[in-house]
Amino acid sequence: MKLAFAFQDYRFLLDDPAISDDDKGIFKRILGRTASIDETKSCFLLLTRMLEIHFKKSAVVILDEYDVPIAKSQQQRILFADAGRDAGYDEHHAQRQYFA
């Protein structure tokens, strides 16, 4: 259900004549929650391709849930850097320890 909800914002892509009927069909199945497992697994590749065709530029799809670990690692990096300075370590050493 969340996947179909996320794709709702991109319904305008269905009106683009440059996008193939096959891609539009898969997109509609995702919206209708009838997509196959394989179609679901590759849905963000489909969305990226459709956005690239529509805007005639490279596209990147970023998922909100995936930025949480990035944000947390950035926060940890800052915390380690602050703690490291207090303990006599530099920021590079703190990063190396955290990401090793």
The DSSP call for residue 35 is -
Does the pTM exceed 0.85? no
Q: What pLDDT is recorded for position 68? A: 58
pLDDT at residue 10 tops 80: yes
pLDDT at residue 36 tops 80: yes
Q: Which one is predicted more confidently, 85 or 24?
A: 24
Mean of all residue pLDDT scores within the chain: 77
Q: What pLDDT is recorded for position 93? A: 47
Q: Are 4 and 32 in contact (CB under 8 A)?
A: yes
Q: What pLDDT is recorded for position 74? A: 57
Q: What pLDDT is recorded for position 6? A: 85
Q: What pLDDT is recorded for position 96? A: 44
pLDDT at residue 43 tops 70: yes
pLDDT at residue 76 tops 70: no
Q: Exposed, middle or buried: residue 72 (CB in 10 Å: 0-12, 13-18, 19+)?
A: exposed
